[in-house]
A = this chain, B = another copy of it.
Amino acid sequence: MTPLPPGSTIGILGGGQLGRMLALAAAELGYRCHIYTPEHDSPASHVAAATTIAAYEDETALTGFATSVDIVTYEFENVPAATAALLAGLTLVAPSATVLGVAQDRVREKDFVAALPGSVPPYRAVASLAELEAAVAEIGAPAILKTRRMGYDGKGQARLKTAADCAEAWAALRGVPAILEGFVPFEREVSVLVVRGWNGDMAHYGPVENSHDDGILSVSRVPATVSPAVTEQAVALARRIAGALDYVGVLGVEMFVVGDTVLFNEMAPRVHNSGHWTTEGAVVSQFENHIRAICGLPLGCTDTVGRVEMRNLIGEDALRWHDLLSDPQARLHLYGKADARPGRKMGHVTYVQRD
């Protein structure tokens, strides 16, 4: 692809903190951003040259948006497939609508990775209570029932301790198409952030070691405390997925580590919370590299500058901003959200111990 020159306009679907951080990185390279979001007063809109506030189904607004930008990308993967298809007919879209279709559906995603081949823990598509019971009989309990679509941060999930929990779990998901995932007695959760350009060039960050709390990422650390064999497998799997998807941009791949084995968990077709440390902890951040990749620019150096830890500020954690600013080791990031609701990602803080 001919590089999109600085001064071009990047359209971003979604107005959250990922869009905000993408817009900040794009601005450093001289690009303009145009945010498309149904939300008023969104975090990304505070730092963008233009914002369209409209529903993802509003074809008139989408058409106007597409014709006012040079490329469209996402900060939020749960946009309707029809939205992505409409935009792709009018302008460049990266990552592609096809990628979005795979990543939006936990079953398609796992089928895709299993076929690469990649190691995927046992899973079954489940569309009824009877199918759920059959699935539990096959893959055993404990297990987790998740919606196929629209899940994030532990939402849309029900745990089954035994086969006797089927009815309750099925009821909790309210009958939407689901996936049953076998319980993985993992030792660690890791992620790799791959960035891939239109020309197939790739670079990566990680593996990053992640801890979750109530299904929400709590802490990320690099380097991960894993063996060289695990590192090699994790990086190879993430790069294999990006290549097979003909992916353009940053792709987050989450994996479980069991002994010396890496198992696929899930992917996010966008910059990823477990890569937020790269703003201070890597030479070029995941945000800038996403912009470089989609704009057809050379990828930036992903080397880390030391040992790094990123802690999410969830809900009222963010009220500690003064203490965090008083700590010379802490680098604070807040997302400009007014309301510190429980479970809401309000910001993050990184700690870098330089090499």
Contacts and interface: CB of A to CB of B under 8 A. Distances in A.
Contacts of A29: 325, 332-334
Contact of A46 (B49, B283, B297): B49
B20 A336 contact: no
B24 A334 contact: no
Contacts of A31: 336
A107 to B, nearest CB: 38
A317 to B, nearest CB: 13
A7 interface: yes
A243 interface: no
A154 interface: no
Interface in A10-41: 20, 23-24, 27-33
B322 A297 contact: yes
Contacts of A284: 331
A342 interface: no
Contacts of A305: 305, 354
A30 B326 contact: no
A95 interface: no
Contact of A32 (B46, B326, B355): B46
Interface of A: 3, 5-7, 20, 23-24, 27-33, 45-49, 283-284, 292, 297-298, 300-301, 305, 318, 321-322, 325-326, 328, 331-336, 338, 347, 354-355
Q: Which 5 A-B pairs have the closest CB atoms?
A: A30-B334, A46-B49, A301-B328, A298-B326, A6-B334
Given A29-B325, A46-B49, A47-B47, 5 more contacts: A6-B336, A24-B27, A27-B47, A30-B347, A283-B331
